[in-house]
Amino acid sequence: MQKGLLFEDKIFLLLATLTLFLIAAALSWNHTHQQYTVDLQWINPSVINTFDTCILFYIAGFTIAERMPYASTILKSIGMISFSWLLLFILNTTAFTTPFSTLRNDFFNHLDHCMGFNLLTILKWMGNHPLIQTILIQFYVNVLILAILLPIGFALTKQHHAFYLYYTSFMISLISCFIIYYFFPTTSPAAIYPATYFSSSQINILHYFQAEHAHQPIPFKMSSIIGFPSLHAVWTILPFYFLYQYRWLKYPSVILCIITLFAIISTGWHFLSDVIAGIMIAAMSIALGKYILTEKKYH
């Protein structure tokens, strides 16, 4: 049994450290703007407790690595996914409160039209088929559950390479997406099309975006970043890549992927260009993750 940190663990910790550095740099930059106040009201004791817990799980995994390698991997998996999603929440706030105020929603709407895609036509059709809309919303929401549970499943089934490749790709995609969000802020199609085609949640998030980017005080509540690129598309492609490699899951994973990608667009959360960019970032993250964990490990 290898003693000390595995190469794969070092890569995860390096990416996590890089993410924290980017968060600190961005929040420090935000604070230099006179009209801007860094708003971290969402941080509460429960969030701090979550952070402490995931750190303890991760440390416990290393502590028993030599004596109980299987249990160690499971504990590290729980700690890594908790820490990854905690970083996601903090990145949400960092990107949401970016001082770069220009919102380029018209650009992506125009880009969709240049590709011959008209989202409004789909939104109108969905409005006339509420049952289908409800089903697709469930696909949109529940892809997060798959994104969270899949790497834990890899740990339970002793798929060491898939386990670390997933986390490495996940972290690379987070860093890539939020660099874009921070310097190139956008919002959802709700900023372009009539409010009647969108839920109250979509409208509220849009208003938060618009107010915050105008440096106006808002009753801040933690919400997801919705814009270019689509992180939901990333979270759809990552599981699909791994599940497709199993013969008995190949075709179900294709169907699930297609339906979820369609749900991301048809429910009005994203432009087509957002989804295409999310797919490209997922592919890039997986390719870079494979290179780091294979080529670099043996050099």
In this prediction, residue 1 has a pLDDT band, given cuts at 50, 70 and 90, of very low
CA–CA gap between residue 207 and residue 213 (Å, rounded): 10
pLDDT at residue number 298: 55
CA–CA gap between residue 172 and residue 12 (Å, rounded): 10
Q: What is the mean pLDDT of residues 99-107?
A: 74
Entry pTM: 0.89
In this prediction, residue 51 has a pLDDT band, given cuts at 50, 70 and 90, of low
At residue 229, the 3 state secondary structure works out as coil
Two tokens at 12? Answer: 């995860």
Neighbouring residues of 277: CB distance < 8 A, sequence distance ≥ 6: 180, 228, 229, 230, 233
Closest CA to 289 of 206, 194, 165: 165
pLDDT at residue number 221: 55
pLDDT digits (tens, 9 = 90+) for 111-123: 999 999 999 999 9
Q: How large is the C-alpha radius of gyration of the chain?
A: 20
DSSP-derived letter for residue 102 is -
| Per-chain mean pLDDT for the chain | 83
pLDDT digits (tens, 9 = 90+) for 139-165: 998 888 888 889 888 888 888 888 899
Say whether pLDDT at 280 is over 90.
yes
Say whether pLDDT at 127 is over 70.
yes
